[in-house]
Structure 1
C-alpha cells in the first residue's frame, strides 16, 4: 500500500508559504504641500469667496430613479449658494438670496488678528485704543465686486491714454488702489448674516448695495483713528434712544488720479477721480472719492463706546 502522507505534507507547507510569493502593494508617496506665502494669505483674507459647503450625504435613490429625473429635465441649470448650499434655478435668484443673506460672517482667529493689527496702526495713544467688540467680514455680491473691477479698468485705461506729462504709472498699474477707512452708523444688532433693511441703518445699506451715488463724496481716511474721530464723540449718547452706534469700515479704494484743489476736481471733471482733503489735523490726509463704485468695503469693526 502506497502512503500519501509525504505528498499531503508538501501541499500543506506550499499553501502555508504562498502569501510570501504575492507582490506587496506599493506605498503611496506622501507629497508635502507647498507652503502658502504671505501674499496669497493676505489675498485670501480680502477675497469674497466663502468656504465650500460640506458635501451632501449620499443619495439612497436607486440608479433608475436618478436616470429618470435626468431624462425629465435634461436642461436643468442649478446655482448653489456657496455659504449654505441652497440651490437656485437662475443667477438672479441666487443674487437676490446673497444680497439679503450671508452678507457678513465672523472671522477666524488668525484673520481677526491681522485685521486688529491693521486697525490699531495709527492711533496716537495706544493706551486709549478702544476695545474691539466684533470684527465681521463682508461678503460682497458678485454685482458689487464686478462694478468695482470695471471701474478700476476704466481708471487704468484713462490713465494709459493720458499724455506723458499727466501720465500716472500707479493709475496705469492698478488704478491707484489704497487701503482706507470709513466711519458709519448702524442701528441693528448684526446678530446674523442678514441685513436688517431699516431706513436709518447706514451700515446695512452700504453692505447690501454699496455707497449711495447721491453723496457729494465718500470720505476715506488713512487710519481707523481718523475715521473714528470724524464723527462727534457724543454721537452714541445723543442718539441712544434709537440705539445708534458707530462702526469703522476697512475698504479697498480706487483713488485714481487725486486732485489737490477743490476747483480742479469734482464729480463732472474727467481729469481727476478723487480729491485730497485740505483740512488740518486728522483731515489733512482725507480723500474724497466721487464714484461709489470706487469703494469696496471688506471688514466691519464694531467698537465699544469711549471718550477720546
Structure 2
C-alpha cells in the first residue's frame, strides 16, 4: 500500500531555538535515515510537497529552505532532498492540523498518510499494558528510518492482505527475524489476518526490537520461562509467553530453516500467546477454539542476535 509522506512548512519551520549547526545536523540525519525510502522503496512511498514549504518556509531564522539547502548540503545530499520536493500538488493546501486528521486510520482507505518532520517527537513515558509499544489508529510521524519502519508495520497491521503478502512485508520490516516458510501456511488457518493482524504485528515488532534487551538482563543459563514471562509482561501481552513443556511435541516444533549461512534445524518451543481479538474486529470469536500462537527460538548458536519464527497460527 502507498504511504503519502507530506512535507509541510510547519514541520520544517525554524523553532527559534536551534543553532545553525543543529539545523544542518537535523537535516543531514534525516536525509541519511530516509535515503532507503527515496531510492529503495520509492514505489511504496510518495513524497508530497507544498508551494509554501519551497517558497515561504524559513528553516533557519530568515533563511528559506532552498537557500539553506544550497548553502549547507553537498551535491549528493542536496540531490536527495530535491528528490523529495519533486511532487508538488496543486490541491495540497492543508493546515498542519488538517494534515494530522488525514493521518488517522480509516478502514476504507486505499492509501495512508504521514508527515515528514525534522524534529523528533518526544516520547511520553514507558510502554506497557497502559501504553502499547505500537498503536494503529493514527499513523506514525516519520522523522527517522525507525519511525518509517513503524509506519510500514502499522500498514501491515491495518491492511494485512493475504498470508503471502503479510510474510513478504514482515521479512522487510522485521530484519532481526528469520521467518520459516511454514508461517504462510499457518497464517491461512482460522482467519487470523482478519481477527488479529494488529496483535500479530505488535508481537512481532516487540520480538524484533525488544526481546534481546530483556533477554540480556539474564545470565546465559537462566530459566527461559522467566525470560519469556518477563518479556511478555513488559509489553502487556494477553498472556505470559512460555515454553511448550511437552517433550513429546519436540518433533512438531522442529523446523529446517534456510539462511544466508546455510540450512539449520531449530526447535521453536517458546511461544507467544494471544487470547483476545483486535479491538477493531467486529466479528464473533469462539474463544474455546481461539488459541493463536507465535512459535519462535532465540539464542540459536551462530545467530545470537536473531529470532527464528516457525509458526504464526494455531497451537501446535
- TM-score, normalised with respect to structure 2: 0.27
- TM-score, normalised with respect to structure 1: 0.28
Larger relative contact order (Cα-Cα within 8 Å, sequence gap ≥ 6): 1
Asked which structure has the greater CA Rg, the reply is 1
